[in-house]
Amino acid sequence: MNSRLTLAIVRWSLATVALAGIVLVYKRWLHVNPTTVALSLLLLVLVVAAYWGLRYAIILSIAAAACYNFFFLPPFDTFTIADTQNWLALLSFIATSIVASRLSQRAREEADEAKARQAELDILFRLSRELLQSESAGALQSSLATKVLGITSAEAGYLYLLEGNRLYQAGNSSISERELSHFEQVATTLTTTQAEGERLLIPIRSGARPRGLLALSLPHISTSTADAMGGLVSLALDRAQALETVARGEAAKESDRLRTLMVDSITHELRTPLTSIKGAATTLLSANLPREDSLELLRIIDEETDRLNHLISEAVDMSQLDAQQVKMHLQPRSVSHLVEDAIETTAWIRREHPVEVDIPDSIAVRVDATFFEKALCNLLENAAKYSQPGRPITISAERRNQEVFISVADQGTGIDPSEQSLIFERFYRSPHRLGAASGSGMGLAISRAIIQAHDGQISLTSQPGRGSVFTLLLPEA
């Protein structure tokens, strides 16, 4: 209030000084005809109307007309006007200045309105951009009130949703039980934005169906913009819900596809060892074989049951990792110990390949030892399976910038560049080597899932005919 009064006093003083200045200049120093004086005064009135508004312009034009009459229309220095022509001149001056002031005031109002509209459009644009960023309905609902508050500069904001009778609030004011039940009541009936004290109540409707309301305290927006905001919010909620439904559907479809794929692959892979076991067992039962042959058949049964066991535990691991049911117990472990354990578990490899280890004792990683060993064993078994007996397998580790790189290198068949990204996909097996080595195509997919669960990465460099190097990257313990 005080600042408005000061502003008015300053403006009136400036207008008075300008008017007095014009009168003084023309009366004392520049002797021009009355038309020039009238035009100069008119210019002053127009400038005042354009910048300060109609109220100032009208009062100033009356004062300017009085000065014009007093100082410049004969007889001078009186308010009397002798000549009818001068009456006309004075009246024209007053009429012109008032009409021109009115016009410039209207132009000013229109410019202000255009600015306000642009600011409101900007609010709507920013809101729609913010709303489109959320793809989950839950996240959108909980952040919406804060987003709207930030964009509209309101003092407090509430998003009330009829579904589940939920209230989300932003800003520092709290809400009473009575107000909440008032929101509930208003949300079902409100169709357009309504002002309630200092608050704007904005309906959120999906077509004719009410879904809630947005209550904003002292927002700097018009009711039509508020209506548009309600529409945007409702659309954004619909969109996020639709996206979630689609994502759920896609995930369910993908999980069904994988399950079918897994069942197909497992059934196929189980058949080979089962056929061998069945054949060996039938022969053992039906014929009285020499001891050596019987032992050979029992050895086949032993190996094939191991293979069956391996396949089934891979399938179980895969489905548990897929369903994210696995809880990793991370502990700092020495890499050389982990590698020793993996070599122990895959003892058969050492019978066929020289295994070289080059790992400094001090390197440690934070891992779940059981799962990490599975990932490492898969790599060791592949290195052995896909290289000629007698070819060496080298396991090395090094530390760089708080990261540990563990590599398993073989001098085997290598992997064609076109297949290098595919082999990490579940059930992918190279068509060129299908007959050569047994497997399910799950090993590398399991290893990758395990390493990713440790915040690590698995990568490959390979040259067909020369060998492959699989590298595990893990954070240092």
**According to the binding rule CB under 6 A, does residue 273 interact with ligand ADP?**
no
Q: How many residues bind ligand ADP (CB under 6 A)?
A: 21
* Contact assessment for residue 20 and residue 60, using Cβ atoms and an 8 Å cutoff: no
Stretches 81-89, 247-255, 298-306, 406-414: which one binds ligand ADP (CB under 6 A)?
406-414
**Nearer to ligand ADP (CB atom), residue 382 or residue 407:** 382
The distance of closest approach from Cβ of residue 470 to ligand ADP in the complex, given in angstroms and rounded to an integer, is 7
Relative orientation angle of helices 54-67 and 84-133, to the nearest 10 degrees: 160
**Nearer to ligand ADP (CB atom), residue 412 or residue 456:** 412
Beta strands 355-358 and 364-367: pairing type? unpaired
**Binding to ligand ADP, residues 349-378 (CB under 6 A):** 378
* Token pair recorded at residue 407: 């590599």
The distance of closest approach from Cβ of residue 467 to ligand ADP in the complex, given in angstroms and rounded to an integer, is 7
* Contact assessment for residue 443 and residue 455, using Cβ atoms and an 8 Å cutoff: no
**What sections of 190-290 are H helices per DSSP?**
223-286
The distance of closest approach from Cβ of residue 206 to ligand ADP in the complex, given in angstroms and rounded to an integer, is 48
**According to the binding rule CB under 6 A, does residue 346 interact with ligand ADP?**
no
The distance of closest approach from Cβ of residue 175 to ligand ADP in the complex, given in angstroms and rounded to an integer, is 57
Please tell me what DSSP assigns to residue 422: G
- Residue 342: Cβ within 10 Å count: 22
Beta-bridge partner residues of 403: 400, 475
* Token pair recorded at residue 85: 């022509």
Amino acid residing at 204: I
The contacts of residue 25 (CB under 8 Å, 6+ apart) are: none
**Nearer to ligand ADP (CB atom), residue 240 or residue 423:** 423
The distance of closest approach from Cβ of residue 375 to ligand ADP in the complex, given in angstroms and rounded to an integer, is 11
**Nearer to ligand ADP (CB atom), residue 130 or residue 381:** 381
**Binding to ligand ADP, residues 442-471 (CB under 6 A):** 442-445, 468
The distance of closest approach from Cβ of residue 419 to ligand ADP in the complex, given in angstroms and rounded to an integer, is 7
The closest residue (CB) to ligand ADP is 439
The distance of closest approach from Cβ of residue 433 to ligand ADP in the complex, given in angstroms and rounded to an integer, is 5
Peptide bond into 75 cis (omega under 30): yes
The distance of closest approach from Cβ of residue 325 to ligand ADP in the complex, given in angstroms and rounded to an integer, is 21
- Closest by CA to 102, choosing from 50, 38, 43, is 50
- Residue 358: Cβ within 10 Å count: 12
Amino acid residing at 379: L
Locate the DSSP E strands across 124-198. 156-161, 166-171, 194-196
The distance of closest approach from Cβ of residue 428 to ligand ADP in the complex, given in angstroms and rounded to an integer, is 6
**According to the binding rule CB under 6 A, does residue 395 interact with ligand ADP?**
no
**455 backbone dihedrals φ, ψ, rounded to 5°:** 60, 30
* 184/189 Cα distance (integer angstroms): 9
**According to the binding rule CB under 6 A, does residue 407 interact with ligand ADP?**
no
Beta-bridge partner residues of 196: 199
The distance of closest approach from Cβ of residue 273 to ligand ADP in the complex, given in angstroms and rounded to an integer, is 13
* Token pair recorded at residue 158: 């509430």
**According to the binding rule CB under 6 A, does residue 383 interact with ligand ADP?**
yes
The distance of closest approach from Cβ of residue 401 to ligand ADP in the complex, given in angstroms and rounded to an integer, is 27
Stretches 13-21, 49-57, 168-176, 405-413: which one binds ligand ADP (CB under 6 A)?
405-413
One of 210, 212, 441, 456 touching ligand ADP (CB under 6 A) = 441
**According to the binding rule CB under 6 A, does residue 131 interact with ligand ADP?**
no
**Binding to ligand ADP, residues 411-440 (CB under 6 A):** 412-413, 415, 423, 428-430, 433, 439-440
**Nearer to ligand ADP (CB atom), residue 101 or residue 382:** 382
- Closest by CA to 93, choosing from 28, 165, 149, 44, is 44
**According to the binding rule CB under 6 A, does residue 380 interact with ligand ADP?**
no
The contacts of residue 157 (CB under 8 Å, 6+ apart) are: 145, 146, 148, 149, 169, 170, 171, 214, 215, 216, 217
The distance of closest approach from Cβ of residue 382 to ligand ADP in the complex, given in angstroms and rounded to an integer, is 3
Residue located via tokens 């050979």: 296
**Nearer to ligand ADP (CB atom), residue 160 or residue 386:** 386
**Nearer to ligand ADP (CB atom), residue 42 or residue 339:** 339
**According to the binding rule CB under 6 A, does residue 386 interact with ligand ADP?**
yes
One of 410, 451, 453, 454 touching ligand ADP (CB under 6 A) = 410
The secondary structure element, H or E, covering residue 356 is strand 355-358
**Nearer to ligand ADP (CB atom), residue 199 or residue 374:** 374
Determine the distance from the C-alpha atom of residue 104 to the mean position of all C-alpha atoms in its chain, rounded to a whole number.
47
The contacts of residue 335 (CB under 8 Å, 6+ apart) are: 359, 363, 364, 365, 397, 404, 406
Residues in contact with ligand ADP by CB under 6 A are: 378, 382-383, 386, 410, 412-413, 415, 423, 428-430, 433, 439-445, 468
